[in-house]
Chains A and B, each alone.
Chain A
Amino acid sequence: MKRIIKCIIFIIIFLIIIAILSKIFIPKNNTLEAGIGKRKQPASGILTEPENTIDVLVLGDSESYNSYIPLELWNQYGFTSYVCGTPAQRISNSYEYLKSAFNTQKPKIVILEANNLYTKNGVVRRIKEYIDKKIPAFEYHDRWKSLSKEDFYKSSEYTEIVNDKGYRYSNKVRIVKKSKRENFMQVNENAKNIPGYNKKILKEIKDYCDKNGAKLILYSSPAPANWSYDKHNGIEKCAKDSRIEYIDLNLKVDELQINWKEDSQEKRGEHLNYTGALKVTNYLGNYLKEHNELPDHRQDEKYNSWNEAYNNFQKEIEESKKASV
């Protein structure tokens, strides 16, 4: 009995210390210097955009932030969008980003890149995620390297505006292997099952959007490495059942004029680079504009910073082009 009490006290002290450590280690701002990390930094900007200024919210894993360019659409159509995509984002993370975005924003359209609907979420993974959420000391433990005095007393407040609005620019080019790019969308009747847990979360996302007056759209960015006709059928069926629009760009590779020798970052053809993303973005912009009523803020002074952001973005592209030559 005495031992059990001792164990409990030991654990309580442990929890107190780790809670204190969490307070210290959690990044105090959404900058790389403050330690938020490259994985999360681009998406974190959704929390620092002025209230009610985002028209379209994009969620998903790496497929999303490698294919959707908000500033390009701003320049062409004048509506604002933000990509809350993070590497290997799970559908449950997508839902969380959605909810936190709606704290300050009222997007009319929510777009989910469908790839993560097939990402498995085992029990272990979910437990890990839960612990990470409750105890940030684990996720940010590496910050011992860069702790400053302020970390010990300040609370966390995000202030940094992210220029590229969540898109992650890449000009890397690899020729996609023939075996990967040829006939990767062989037509067939099979439909690959979406894991039950993911389906459940998708339904919750859909309900959340409905409740908040936003329209949910699914899309798939062209990616021979991870897409197939089975998956297309699976999503298509699921989307139909839940009355969600679904755009599979893997079927429109020719229409988009995707060039597998220029538009991909890897030989496997997993992620599009900037030229590929432009093609996808142009298509999506056109589609969104045609099927929805989206405002044009380009002449609105309140949105001046977006023009600036676009110019910065263009400069960034010019510079990296020079650097790679």
Chain B
Amino acid sequence: MTYFSVIYLLIFLPVVALIYNILPQKHRWKLLLLASFTFFFSISKGLIVYAIGSTFLIHYIGIWLENVQEERNRVLKEAEKENKKKIRADYLKKQRRILTFGVLANVGVLLVVKYTGFFGENINSLLETMKVSFRLHIPKILMPIGISFYTLQAVSYIVDVYHEKIKADKNLARLSLYLTFFPQIMEGPICRYSETAMQLWEGNKITYESLKSGLLRISYGMIKKMIIADRLNKFIGEIYTHYGKYDGGIMVVGMVLYTLQLYMDFSGTMDMVIGTSEIFGVKLPENFKQPFFSKNISEFWTRWHITLGAFFRDYIFYPLSLSEPLKKLTTNARKKIGKYYGPLIASAIALFCVWFCNGLWHGAAWTFIFFGMYHFVLILSGKIFEPAVLWLSTKLHINREKAWYKGLQIIKTTLLVFIGELFFRATSVKAGFEMLGKMFTNFTLNSFKDGTILKLGMDLPDFIIIAIFTVIVFIISIMHEKDISIRKEISKKNIVIRWTFYYLIIFAIIIFGAYGLNYEVVQPMYANF
């Protein structure tokens, strides 16, 4: 059962929504929890014990942390003033140990489940090159659905309790619902406890308005995912698997269209997820904010997979770069190499860790690690050369606020993103370089002239449909960028226009959706990360 399957859309979701509204408000969370477990179970069967285990663990860790905090506060109240500092330090140490244990346990499970195969294989090939006859036995471990997502949520929960940003939740069921809420379990967004836990618990009634609004958001997701992304699936698969057979012209098309596919698939799924939650009166954080209007890579990552970027920023980047040793480094470096480059050293170290984790989080393969490092280098060099660019643009009397300059920045950023995603999809790092190389050494337009391009799984009407709907999504994106809500605009119009609009959406999906026997079933792209 995936979010775009008939069973989810026409059976699971309507049944859950119907029962949800019939139930009295105080019992609704039970249904959501049951639905979440059912959803999880339908995909990962017995592996649901991982999620349940994780819930129990962080439930306990949270309460433990809070007990220590309360004890500290009691002791502090009665303590002499001069002892307070020591007491604080002692309790902090204790809390840190609990936190470390909790984080390691959660992340440890993720590491073992996700990366055993990858590390095992790499160690084995290392042994082979060293001519050692010993080989590791690599056990096959099945990965429960969404573990990459709920693990991060679990970590954010205990860290937030540790920082006393939130209170530990005494309610196991609520915590469990926060971790496994069915619309977001597969592909995120990665939510904070403070953002969603209480909303999920409240059991707000499904209103006519929330239903309509949610369904419209879902249909927008379906347009992106079913009409554009799924239609591209076979074509992209062919190019990336058999890149050796095609010339540089095709490589360029493959590169651009894969980024399009990934964006439409992932952001479309997010529309589906956020729309579904909206129906239940739950507001999830946005995961995309028109990423292709970014002026640099750093900004791109605040607009693309926002909640992942935010997680790494808040739970790795800041804690690391503001940790004792790196702070000392910053202070020293500032004295020696100045106010700009001084702090950059510590930032660079933290940034490296962030992007290493980011790459690895996406999957156990060298392509993903490369993908992470690629962004690390881009962001860091952007920072290193920023003063030079400033100096140069002032020298050349370039007005950096002019539209053409911003346009150029956006194009540059988009090109860099294309290359990054090329490696992301490539079958190996080597394949990625070969594909990239072909764009320069073997660039021809022959495949367009002789019609090869139309034989890779998409015919001319397919290309036309993708072009039309990409333009539509682009226009909608511009409107969103200007803070125009199409749903609100439409609701102001009269019934004929409104209904025509609804029917157009519905029949566009039915007619132009890439579903049914002529298309392979597309696995959710982000679910295995």
Direct contact of A and B (CB under 8 A): yes
Interface residues of A (CB under 8 A from B): 3, 10, 13-14, 17-18, 21, 37, 39, 124, 127-128, 137-139, 141-142, 144-145
B interface residues, Cβ below 8 angstroms from A: 6-7, 11, 208, 459, 461, 499, 502-503, 506-507, 510-513, 515-518
Is the Cβ of B208 less than 8 Å from the Cβ of A10? no
- Chain B residues with CB under 8 Å of A124's CB are 6-7, 11
Which of A17, A21, A139 is close to B517, meaning CB atoms less than 8 Å apart? A139
Given A3-B208, A39-B517, A137-B510, check contact A145 B461 (CB 8 Å). yes
How far is it, in angstroms, between the C-alpha of A14 and the C-alpha of B517 when the chains are bound?
23
Name the residue of chain B whose CB is nearest to the CB of A6.
Answer: B495
> Hey, which chain B residues are within 8 Å of A144, CB to CB?
461, 511-512
Q: Are B511 and A21 in contact (CB under 8 A)?
A: yes
In the complex the two chains form, is A17's CB within 8 Å of B503's CB?
Answer: yes
Contact A142 B503 (CB under 8 A): no
A70 to B510, CA, bound (A): 39
**Chain A residues closer than 8 Å to B517, beta-carbon distance:** 37, 39, 139
Contacts of A127 in B (CB 8 A): 11
Of B459, B502, B506, B511, most buried by chain A (CB within 10 Å of CB) is B511
**A145–B499 contact, CB under 8 A?**
no
A141 touches B511 (CB 8 A): yes
Flag if A128 contacts B6 (CB, 8 Å): yes
Whether B6 pairs with A142 at a CB distance below 8 angstroms is no
A220 to chain B, nearest CB (A): 26
With a CB–CB cut-off of 8 A, which chain A residues contact B7? 124
Complex Cα gap A124–B11 (Å): 8
Instruction: A37 to B518: give the CA distance in the assembly, Å.
Output: 9
Q: List 12 A-B contacts (CB under 8 A).
A: A10-B499, A13-B499, A18-B507, A21-B510, A37-B518, A137-B510, A138-B510, A139-B517, A141-B510, A141-B511, A141-B516, A144-B461
A21-B511, A145-B461 are known contacts; what are 18 more A-B pairs with Cβ within 8 Å?
A: A13-B503, A14-B506, A17-B507, A21-B510, A37-B518, A124-B7, A124-B11, A127-B11, A137-B511, A138-B510, A139-B517, A141-B511, A141-B512, A141-B513, A141-B515, A141-B516, A144-B461, A145-B459
Determine the distance from Cα of A144 to Cα of B518 in the docked complex, in whole angstroms.
Answer: 13
B506 CB contacts on chain A under 8 angstroms? 14
- Complexed CA–CA distance, A142 and B208 (Å): 33
Cα–Cα, bound, A17→B511 (Å)? 12
Report the Cα distance A72→B118, complex, angstroms: 53
Measured CB to CB, the nearest residue on chain A to B517 is: A39
Q: With A and B bound together, what is the CA distance between A142 and B11 in angstroms? A: 24
- Residues from chain A with Cβ under 8 Å of B510 in the complex: 18, 21, 137-138, 141
Secondary structure of the B contact surface, majority rule: helix
Q: Which residues on B sit within 8 Å (CB–CB) of A3?
A: 208
The 4 residue pairs across chains A and B that have the minimum distance between CB atoms = A145-B461, A124-B7, A141-B511, A142-B518
Closest residue of A by beta carbon distance from B461: A145
Query: Shortest distance in angstroms between B464's beta carbon and chain A's nearest beta carbon?
Result: 10
State the Cβ distance, A190 to closest chain B Cβ, in Å: 24
- Chain A hits for B518, CB < 8 A: 37, 142
- Nearest A-chain residue to B514, judged by Cβ: A142
Nearest CB on B from A125, distance (A): 9
Known pairs A141-B511, A144-B511; A14 contacts B459 (CB<8 A): no
In the assembled complex, the CB of B352 is this many whole angstroms from the nearest CB of chain A, namely 45
A137 closest partner in B (C-beta): B510
Residue on A nearest B11 in the bound complex, by CB:
A124
- How far apart sit A18 and B511, CA to CA, in the bound complex (Å)? 10
Contact of A21 among B6, B499, B507 (CB under 8 A): B507
B-chain residues with CB within 8 Å of residue A138 when the two chains form the complex: 510, 516
Residues of B within 8 A of A37 (CB): 517-518
Q: Which residues of B contact A128 (CB under 8 A)?
A: 6
B15 CB → nearest A CB, Å: 12
What is the CB-to-nearest-CB distance from B420 to chain A, in angstroms, rounded to a whole number? 33
Q: Is the CB of B503 within 8 A of A14?
A: yes
The smallest beta-carbon distance between B449 and chain A, in angstroms, is 22
The residues of B that contact A13 with a CB separation of less than 8 Å are: 499, 503
Measured CA separation A14–B504 after assembly (Å): 11
Q: How far is the CA of A10 from the CA of B516 in the complex (A)?
A: 25
Q: In the complex, A141 Cα to B508 Cα: how many Å?
A: 10
Which of A39, A139, A142, A144 gathers most chain B CB within 10 Å? A142
Looking at the assembled complex, report how far the CB atom of A36 sits from the nearest CB atom of chain B, in whole angstroms.
Answer: 12
Q: Quote the shortest CB–CB distance from B205 to chain A (angstroms).
A: 15
Q: Output the least CB separation between A121 and chain B (Å).
A: 14
Give Cα distance in the complex from A109 to B208, angstroms. Answer: 58
